[in-house]
Structure 1
Amino acid sequence: MLNKAIKFLIENKLVAVLLLVLFVGWGTVNAPFNWDSGFLPSNPVAVDAIPDIGENQQIVFTKWGGRSPQDIEDQITYPLTTSLLGIPGVKTIRSSSMFGFSSIYIILEEDVEFYWSRSRILEKLNSLPSGLLPEGVNPALGPDATGLGQIFWYTLEGRDENGNVTGGWDLHELRSIQDYYVKYALSSASGVSEVASIGGYVQEYQVDVNPELMRQYNIELHHVVKAVKESNKDIGAQTIEINNAEYLVRGLGYVKSISDIENAVVTSEDYTVIRIKDIGKVSLGPATRRGLLDKEGAEVVGAVVVARYGANPMEVINNVKEKINELSAGLPSKVLDDGRTSQVTIVPFYDRTELIKETLGTLNEALTLEILITILVIIIMVFNLRASVLISGLLPVAVLMVFIAMKFFGVDANIVALSGIAIAIGTMVDVGVILSENIIRHLDEDDGTQSINTVVYNSTAEVSGAIVTAVMTTIISFIPVFTMIGAEGKLFRPLAFTKTFALTASIIVALFLIPPFAAFLFRKKSIQKHFKYALNGVLIALGIITIVYGCWLGLILIAFGIPALLNLQNKVTDKQTNFINIIISASAIIFLLAEYWRPLGVDKSIFWNLIFVSVICFGLLGGFSLFIKYYTRILRWCLDNKLLFLSVPTAIVIAGFFIMKNTGKEFMPSLNEGSFLLMPTSMPHSGVEENKRVLQQLDMAVASIPEIKTVVGKAGRTESALDPAPLSMYENIIQYKSEYMLNAHGERQRYKVNEDGLFELKDGRLIHNENIEVSSSISTTLSTRSVENKAIIKSTLLNIQSSQLIENDDGEYYRNWRPEIESPDDIWNEIVRVTKLPGVTSAPKLQPIETRLVMLQTGMRAPMGIKVKGQDLKQIEAFGVQLENIIKEAEGIKKEAVFADRIVGKPYLLIDIDREKIARYGVSIEEVQNVLKVAVGGMVLTQTVEGRERYGVRVRYPRELRANPTDLQQIYVPVEKGSPVPLSELATIRYEQGPQVIKSEDTFLVGYVLFDKLDGFAEVSVVENAQALIQEKIDSGELIVPKGINYAFTGTYENQLRAEQTLSVVVPLALAIIFLILYFQFRSVGTSLMVFTGIAVAFAGGFVMIWLYGQDWFLNFNVAGENLRDLFQMHPINLSVAVWVGFIALFGIATDDGVVMATYLTQTFNRNTPENKKEIRTSIVEAGEKRIRPCLMTTATTILALLPVLTSTGRGSDIMIPMAIPSFGGMLIALITLFVVPVLYSWKSEIQLKRAKK
């Protein structure tokens, strides 16, 4: 069936052309890289930075204003938690009870559908028994989003027409604009779940009643409450018909102004009316707030846009931006005293688009460079320009086919998913290389008796089985990745899909597109000589025109045209022409690599990058050529010295095993998001103003670092169920500048410079970027010109924006970082240095997306911690503090980052009502508490309706009469008979410490001890060190675990343990599946085992490379001023899930060469039927000699294609590099299997020969 399809397409080339057009067009439509074809519609794959690996979670959020955490826990959180535990699919329930609200996090099993679970929870909430919750308390489901849905943050600022900050707007004005205009406009954008406001002041009408005046008029608080409620009401009175016309009747009574409330009647006696204004003062003021927002030291108003579950983040952000553009022109403006016009402007400060674009830019660049390198390998090693054009031309088609499959199967494009294509590029090319090499060999051997179609078909059919087997081993080896569960499953299943799609696409391209196009390209052409002259003349003319327009591509066109003309004049042979064209093509690719790869860095000249790229590419290819040249000699020696040779791979395997046992472990390498999240905390007793002061100090300190783009700090929470932060918790979102200025697509942009290397600005000024090294000649010129014209040359570092520079593809990159800042870690260290403030805890190194995921998975704000469970909060806190002191001594733990929750640290003012005393006055507990609730806390009694805006009306005592306990004692409580009684007669007031927040898990109270690791230590090793130290203290009696208390390490460490258990099953399963495929190919256990040895050797090679990466001496020397360890991002690599996925990918390709070699060995032996040892070895050498070139080409493409990944420094490279290292090291070492398989095959054949003779 397969061969019939191949034959059909070879004979019907138009069908192949149509298939090619279909794949290219459809793939371009679905591509995630925002390609603008100009005429094709765009329907891209959903795009995000990383997969959402958070838990399957729903939130039940309940407000109960003014209530303490203990009241919330006892009356709301605990009853609700016990009721919700019975919902189908519930894995665990975490909760937090805080001042004024309860948050319950229902963690569900992964297979529970998101919206189905919401409906089940709503059913449960609607069927709660009466009396379970306090009266008037209504629990509600949180937004249909996850913590990863916080994709866009912005502030509202007054700005002029030039975008300069003007101010002129009060915080309450901006908050009203946000709450009643901007919020709803952005909420209407497709894909938005909610827009949550924070910062500024929520405006309300405040009625401050004077208790003395109330006593004089014999008025009680409940009279005032009644009067205010009844003063704000509209009614409808049906309709009236007048003159056959129907009129709707409305009774108007909504409060429209302060005077409306002031004139509300409280009571009347003896024709004297007592109004609100007679017993108090009405004003507009701020409501109590539990959240602050600060931007670089100035308080601001802002909000966060949350994407709906399952929505395409990139699309949602674009929809939001469209709404902002529509909305901006209609936002309020005012003329300031200085004559400037200040327009309210929406200013983003966190936009995930940047991270997504930079991540895709990194992958786009890596894929492009990989394709260029594989083309170079094909040109040099196949040494046939037509074959090279054929393979390299169809490779991008396979990538486009992957995008089609991703869209069809709903696989999102992100750093992990697209890495599947990046690590599969080499294997994708291998298939085409093997097939093309076989076609060329058959054409060379053909005597001209067969048609080109027959030759191509026969050569394709000969290797199609081996190709399918080799690729199927790789595809099926990845099936176990689909079995992964939890966070690692969500993270790597997309990669397994894309790698499978990529390899399937490579088979389709190799077997169904390459043969028909090969039959076309390799046919003998009969083109008239004059037409060839004209064609090459046009080629040269186009080259000259292109050069005139400043494009070096013209030189290549001329270089191709001239040898062709010389060939027509018989001055050079066809072979020489082909050789010249190959040299031109290789040189052009090397130049393109030097230009766009820039491995030595963009600050190094194109010359040095060209030299380095040439050396590394041609050096490796030269090494492979020598390998081919001397292969048969080495193979003969190995056949003569089998035991001595086999001791080498055996030693490598043993070394790899020991390295594996001693390699540190972690769950996942951290993705560099281009931003940090600083999350320190202050003391629980700190109030609003103190937290505001500290927050502003933190923001101003961070903003003083030159590499920082923006810093916006949040204290407390947004108005969202997704944000349960207390007021003492800070979240400073820090956006730092990229190392080099980027364009709108997240790619490095070049800017115009003059002959002295100075950047030209649009206003005519020249800027010397001190962040870039300047040569001595330019430095001299600078000093000379500085004297001549100091106004033009700016030698100091200025805060230059990309909009000021002139884009120019022939210019230079503009570096944003100071010379001493070499990595984001250096920026973080600067942040830590400037944010050491008294009374503020240190914070672990966090990033926005990473932190949201960690908080969703563990309930804490750090990737590592200890969970302490118990029944008593004080006991939990005390034990947590003990653990804090102990683990500070553990090896690998950053001491300053260790912090145990101070649970019971919030000051409480308790009013203890004496039941006997209130009984004497005939007053109930409820009556006293109602007075307290209104007088002290204030009560929102009604809400005004002012157009689209709604403002509460609050009644309370004036601030000066409720500012301290002495004032509270003077609050008067009405009694049934007689004058009101002061509170001091009915209750005692005392101070006490209580919880700021009460956290629980499955109804058990819980506290956390947070910690972080030092750089250079593996996550699992640090946790194991801490575990061992705690156990040692327990065994020695220095630490006693109280009864009812238990502790467990939590965080990403738990993910690692689960992933390790899964991998311990899936890795052997992958190996077993590969062995079965090999067996079905060869139908021989012995041959299958021989090929299988390639996996053991490659496996060891991967670990050897990991070990070398961690050795300071390895490649520790400079080339053109660039250290090779820095160039290849060399640092200690821990054994993470990403590395294991890299090994699984390696297992699939490690057998490819063995399969090809063993297949041909079997064919050779069947053909030659050797009868003695000499003939056996001759047949072995013959088979090896004929298959070494294709085998080595496939290995070369795999190894060289990974070089751009290994040197990549862009967003996402943190995850790609650990996945690429096993394949790179494994395939380098696996070259030895090109000798192992023939040697073992010879050994087996010789033994069989001896037995046969006996």
Structure 2
Amino acid sequence: MITRIIESSLRNRGLVLAFYVLIIAWGVWSVKNTPVDAIPNIGENQVIVYADWPGRSPQDVEDQVIYPLTINLMGLPRVKVVRSNSYFGFGLVNIIFEDNVDFYWARTRVLERLDQAQQMLPEGVSAVLGPDATALGQIFWYTIENGYYCPDHPNVSYEQPGKCPDDGKQLVRSQHDLGELRSLHDWYVRYQLSSVQGVSEVASVGGFVKQYQIDVHPERLLAHNVRLSDMVVAVKRSNLDVGAKTFEEGGTEFVVRGVGFIKSVEDIENIVIGAHDGVPIYVKNVGDVTTGPDFRRGALDKEGAEVTGGVVLMQFGDNPLRVIERIKAKIKELEPGLPSGVRIVPFYDRTQLIHRSVSTLTISLVLATVITILTIVVFLRHFFGSFIISLVLPVGVLMAFVVMYRIGVDANIMSLGGIIIAIGVMVDSGIVMTENIYRRLSEAGAEKGVPLTSNERLDTTIAGAKEVAAPVLFSLLTTIVSFIPVFALTGKSGRLFHPLAFTKTFSMSGAAVIALTLIPTLSYFLLRGKLRSVDEGGVSRYLRKGYLPVIRWSVSHKSVPVIASVVILLIGIIIFPNIKREFMPPLNEGDLLFMPVLLPGASITQVMEVMKKQDMIIKKEFPHEVDMVVGKLGRAETATDPAPVTMLETIIRLKDRKYWRKGMTREKLVKEIVEATRIPGVSPIMTQPIQNRIDMLATGIQTPVGVKVFGDSLSKIVEIAIEIEGILRDIPGAVGPYAERADRRPYFEIEIDRRQAARYGVRVGDVQDIIMTAIGGMNIATTVEGRERYPIRVRYVRELRDNVEALKRILVPTPSGAQIPLSQVASLRKVLGPMTVGTENALPYARVFVSVDQSKIGLVDFVNKASEIIDKAIVDQGKLPPGYYIAWSGQYESEVEAKKKLVVAVPVALFMILLLLYMVFKNVTSTVVVASGLPISMIGGVILLYVLGFKMSVAVWVGFIALFGVATDNAVVLVSALDGLFRKRAVTSVQDIRETVIKGGLLRVRPCVMTAMTTILALIPVMVSSGTGSEVMKPMASPTVGGLITATLSNLILVPVIYCWLKERQFRRAQKES
């Protein structure tokens, strides 16, 4: 089949060239349209269900809303796990599907089940799907701020005070309060940005939502003999528009409309509740009506000043770069319509990270390509031959992008990294094919003595291409087979490395197709005239000259190379255990995310003070490193943000490194920020925006390692979690262990005495209505003011509900018309209750967060050690009741899962490589000789890792897997040449064997060194890069660089020595037998 492809390509040369012109055009189009992001979407394949029940405690939300939803959704097909969290006033259910489940298919299945589950929920509560966005969906954050403007040119705003550049007048600062800015965002900016293509949701955060507030005086209600419920009904009945169809007059039809929506405070004040002796009783007679802020669970702070803003979530599968470009264009379009001086200021923009990451990889890709081409030119010293081989790189990369676009693989550091790793190897097939065709054409021309005819050149080109078609195919197969372990990875590791495996496979496949079709065609056209031998002059001559004494001495002193190889192996074996370990090298996102957590029960006012204080410290103490500090308290109004009020998320935007103080590193800066902002009772966690969002939505664990204690009783599992926190503090390597005090939130419980209430004829619901409305405050209606909507809230005046004694005196109406104090029918007490209730598959859990100093101990080793200690201290001591259990979570799970897969997949891949070798050589001896270089190549990678100080990680193992695919290629070429020589020549002495081996080595030293050099030098730009993404790619490339250096030495020295020794042994045995 391969030979037919080669013949067909050469006999239909015009079609082949036209085909590749189309491929190049399609590839260029694909490059421009392939979605670009910093990293692959490594978040879980999940659907979020959000349920809102304002004012309700976490326990109420869990028992009556989230638990019914959870047990209903657990039965969905292809679901891995269902996690839920119940908070004050709302709850979230995260349904985690298998990785290969289509995202929108999963959403449809959940939506179908929600329709059934809705009837199980309390009246007025509805569960809805979260936005169709992933953990990487939060691509753009911004604030809406007061700025400066010129009164004569009010449509242009300025950040700093000064004079107007147009007329020199002093700029004026706009004076909009947080409520006005929030309304501007909610009813204008948010919806305009939501209309942008690719935007899934725009969520508000910070500021104050405008609310009409009716603060009722109960003594006035009593004096006017009206009930609170009467006033609620009156307000509701006074806030509506109606339609009455049409009527005709004078031949004209008029639409009849009754206008009655509330528009102002005065409208509410003048609502009639009832009448006494013909005198109307207005709302203003029994309460004070004002506008004020609605109850809130989130706030935003910028360097010590409270602001309002929003976050944009991108739709699943869209291109973040394009979406952000559209968002910025929309903001520019909106700005003239904003109030004078108001500005939209971004403080987190994913494009910066994407540009830094892609720029690092693009520069490395271009440099790798240029270096590879120069290497080819230096070795071949033939312009057209070098040109033909060099075409493999751009055309192969474009072919890879075509496939990437078609199957939906984004361009990111991993997918581009796969292409970079493949660059040096891609040209190998081109080198082999072009060199052999060149050799055959030069030999044929030299033999004939005159230029070859067109048919002769065609036949010679076909023959030369057919000779090396098998090695080209073998190279492709070994690459694909070697990456079986990467394709076998699942979970987070799989989602991270599959793009790399795909793009390397696409690139290598494209290079192989080019080698079998385009290169023979171009060789026919361009390799003309008198062609000198490829071994004449230049680098080839010096290589042969330098290699000859080495190989001659080695085959005469075989024990020395073997002993040297054994010593290298022993060094590697000794070094390997001393290499530190981690799951993945952390990607430097550029920005930091500082996440202090306060103890349960802290008020929003106290948390706000802590956030402002810390933000001001960060900005003031680190002016050289920090560009901007914006802190978020609680949550943005989106289902993808489950943060409680006591959790802060401060984005620290860093300046360019050139502005940093001398000697300052990222690690040192993190430690100094944590130390400078240390406050008693506040647990600091330092992470990064994307990393945190993925961890929060995946496992709920914000640290690399976490412990989950499962059981029925929340208080019991929290008690065990706190004990585990104490145990972890004493384990070496543990950093800042912290157990969630999920049951330590202060509650004020009002328990109704049913018997006492019955004596007064009062029902439980009547008392609960007073509790909800008079104490908690209830939104009873919503105004319609054009495009804007604002709630109307009823509540007792503050002085009647701000202390225990005042609450006891709250009046409850009875059927007789009398009103009795609340204390007569209920007991009031302060207790501790749940701050949040988290469950996994409907079973509650408490979490313990702990970071690990991985310079001292790896994650897996730490978990194994800590697990053993915890089992002895808790499980073995009988402190874990029946039905309770402890589980580890976080990045540790991904690392363990990856190791389980690699332990099986890597040996399978190696076995398949050996099987392919045997299929090539058809004998065990040659297979063993070629395979002998694999251990040496791996040790080279280990040594380079140790020298450069990189840690063993899944990324490094992927680098070793890439090495396995290329380490044997040169040995195959060399051993194939030796086998061919020995088949053509009958040896009569040991010296004959040695001379034949030396001849074979000299014959293949140039292509072996050339292919190794192209691969190694192509990775040098990655090894010396320092931009975003390099922290992942450098450890991954190290095994290939180090391994190919030792593999090349092994292939050129050890492989010939072992081959020679086996041949000599066979020869001596044959002599003895004869």
TM-score, scaled to structure 1: 0.80
Taking the aligned partners of 1:243 and 1:1036, their CA distance within structure 2 comes to 94
Match of 1:118 in 2: 107
**1:94 and 2:101 matched:** no
Q: Secondary structure at the match of 1:365?
A: helix
Given candidates 626, 630, 634, the residue that maps to 1:716 is 634
Structure 1 position 363, deviation (Å): 0.6
1:434-453 equivalent positions in 2, closer than 5 A: 434-445=432-443, 446-447=445-446, 448-449=449-450, 450-451=452-453, 452-453=457-458
How many angstroms apart in 2 are the aligned matches of 1:839 and 1:409? 50
Residue from 261, 271, 274 that aligns with 2:278: 271
SS at match of 2:597: coil
- Give the length in aligned residue pairs: 1040
Equivalent position of 1:649 in the other structure? 565
Counterpart of 1:517?
522
Structure 2 residue aligned with 1:1208? 1025
Q: What is aligned with 2:1054?
A: 1236
The alignment status of 1:1197 with 2:1014, answered yes or no, reads yes
1:193 to 192, 200, 206: 200
How far apart, CA to CA, are the structure 1 residues paired with 2:875 and 2:866?
Answer: 14
Is 1:856 the equivalent of 2:697?
A: yes
SS of the equivalent of 1:145 reads coil
Q: Deviations over 1:421-479 (max 9, x none)?
A: 11111101222333344344445544134345555444333323222212321123213
In structure 2, the partner of 1:1026 is 866
Match of 2:583 among 652, 667, 679: 667
1:144–1:193: 8 Å Cα contact kept in structure 2? yes
How far apart are the structure 2 equivalents of 1:71 and 1:481?
46
Q: How does 1:419-430 map to 2 (within 5 A)?
A: 419-430=417-428
**2:722 pairs with 1:727:** no
Q: Which residue of the partner structure matches residue 833 of structure 1?
A: 675
| Deviation by residue 1:556-584 (Cα, 9 ceiling, x = unmatched) | xxxxxxxxxxxxxxxxxx99xx99xx9xx
Partners in 1 of 2:973 and 2:392 — Cα distance? 23
Superposition map of 1:467-482 within 5 A? 467-482=472-487
Give the SS at the match of 2:296.
coil
Summarize deviations over 1:1222-1243 as a string: whole Å, max 9, x none.
1011111112122232223223
Rounded to whole Å, the distance in 1 between the matches of 2:767 and 2:269 is 26
| Other-structure match for 2:153 | none
Q: Distance in 2 between matches of 1:171 and 1:1098?
A: 64
Q: 2:164 aligns to what?
A: none
Shift of 1:902: 1.2
Distance change in 2, residues 1:124/1:629 (3 Å): same
Shift of 1:1175: 2.1
The aligned runs of 1:243-642 (5 Å cut-off) are 243-333=250-340, 342=341, 344-445=342-443, 446-447=445-446, 448-449=449-450, 450-451=452-453, 452-524=457-529, 628-642=544-558
Cα gap change, 1:73/1:409 in structure 2, threshold over 3 Å: closer, same or farther?
Answer: closer
Query: Quick one: distance in 2 between partners of 1:154 and 1:457?
Result: 63
Q: Which of 184-193 and 501-510 deviates more?
A: 501-510
TM-score, normalising length: structure 2: 0.93
Does structure 1 residue 869 correspond to structure 2 residue 787? no
Q: C-alpha separation between the residues in 2 aligned to 1:630 and 1:1029?
A: 60
Structure 2: which amino acid aligns with 1:69?
P
How far apart, in 2, do the equivalents of 1:656 and 1:471 lie?
Answer: 29
* RMSD across aligned positions (CA): 2.4
Whole-angstrom distance in 1 between the partners of 2:703 and 2:231: 49
Kept in 1, the 8 Å contact 2:581–2:854? The answer is no
Q: Distance in 1 between matches of 2:375 and 2:928?
A: 31
Query: For residues 243 and 1002 of structure 1, what CA distance do their matches in structure 2 show?
Result: 69
Asked if residue 820 in structure 1 is aligned to residue 663 in structure 2, the reply is yes
User: 1:542 maps to which residue?
Assistant: none
Describe the superposition over 1:691-744 as per-residue Cα deviations: whole angstroms up to 9, x where unpaired.
Answer: 1111111211222212112221101111111112111100011111232xxxxx
Q: 1:254 Cα shift?
A: 0.7
1 CA distance for matches of 2:96 and 2:437? 57
* Cα distance between partner residues in 2 of 1:627 and 1:667: 42
Pairwise CA distance, 1:1136 = 1.6
Superposed, which structure 2 residues align to 1:757-768 within 5 Å? none
- Identity between Structure 1 and Structure 2 (%): 44
User: Which stretches in structure 1 are left out of the alignment for 5+ residues?
Assistant: 32-42, 334-341, 527-573, 583-620, 740-814, 1110-1130
Residue 274 of structure 1 aligns to a residue in which SS? strand
8 A contact 1:77–1:95 mirrored in 2? yes
Asked if 1:1248 corresponds to 2:1066, the answer is yes
Q: Is the 8 A contact 1:317 1:353 kept in 2?
A: yes
Contact 1:470/1:1155 (<8 A) preserved:
no
Could you tell me which of 113, 126, 145 is aligned with 1:138?
A: 126
Q: Secondary structure at the match of 1:148?
A: coil
The residue aligned with 1:972 is 811
Higher mean C-alpha displacement, 1070-1079 vs 256-265: 1070-1079
Q: Please report how far the alpha carbon of residue 689 of structure 1 lies from its aligned counterpart in structure 2 after TM superposition.
A: 1.4
- Corresponding letter in the other structure for 1:60: V
Matched AA of 1:678: F
Q: How far is 1:63 from its partner?
A: 1.1
Query: Which of residues 158, 180, 187 is equivalent to 1:163?
Result: 158
Q: Deviations over 1:276-298 (max 9, x none)?
A: 11111111111010000111111
Gaps of 5+ in 2: 150-155, 161-172
Q: 1:83 aligns with which of 42, 66, 72?
A: 72
Report the secondary structure of 1:718's partner residue: coil
Matched-pair contact (CA < 8 Å) for 2:582–2:854:
no
Q: Does 1:147 align with 2:135?
A: yes
Counterparts of 1:647 and 1:945, CA distance in 2: 88
Q: 1:129 to 1:949 in 2, by over 3 A?
A: closer
Contact 1:667 1:1053 in 2 (8 A): yes
- Deviation digits for residues 761-793 of structure 1 (CA, Å, limit 9, x no counterpart): xxxxxxxxxxxxxxxxxxxxxxxxxxxxxxxxx
Task: Indicate the SS of the match to 1:861.
Answer: coil
Does the 8 Å CA contact 2:373/2:390 hold for their aligned counterparts? yes
- How many Å apart are 1:863 and its aligned residue? 2.1
The separation in 1 between residues aligned to 2:118 and 2:891, in whole angstroms, is: 39
Q: Secondary structure at the match of 1:1049?
A: strand
How big is the shift at 1:838? 2.9
Taking the aligned partners of 1:11 and 1:233, their CA distance within structure 2 comes to 82
Distance 2:883 2:366 in 1: 60
Cα distance in structure 2, aligned partners of 1:687 and 1:1146: 56
Deviates more, 1:203-212 or 1:368-377: 368-377
- Counterpart residue identity of residue 143, structure 1: P
**Is the contact made by 1:1097 and 1:1233 (CA closer than 8 Å) also made in structure 2?**
no
Which segment is superposed worse, 901-910 or 1164-1173? Answer: 1164-1173
Instruction: Report 1:1006-1025 matches (<5 A).
Output: 1006-1014=845-853, 1016-1017=855-856, 1018-1025=858-865
Q: Which deviates more from structure 2 when the two are superposed, residues 984-993 or residues 411-420? A: 984-993
Please name the residue that 1:1067 is paired with.
Answer: 906
Shift of the alpha carbon at 1:123? 2.1
- 1:1160 maps onto 2:1001 in alignment: no
TM-superposed deviation, 1:884: 1.3
Aligned in 2, Cα 1:953/1:441: closer, same or farther, shift over 3 Å? same
Give distance in 1, aligned partners of 2:640 and 2:588: 24
Q: 1:977 to 1:1204 in 2, by over 3 A?
A: same
8 Å contact kept, 1:147–1:853: yes
Correspondence for 2:95: 106
Residue 35 of structure 2 corresponds to residue 46 of structure 1 = yes
Distance between the aligned counterparts of 1:730 and 1:1157, measured in 2?
62
Q: Give the counterpart letter for 2:661 in structure 1.
A: R
**After superposition, what is the alpha-carbon deviation per residue over 1:1104-1125, rounded to whole angstroms, capped at 9, x for unaligned?**
222223xxxxxxxxxxxxxxxx
Q: Distance in 2 between matches of 1:19 and 1:525?
A: 30
SS in 2 for 1:673: coil
Segment drifting more, 634-643 vs 424-433: 634-643
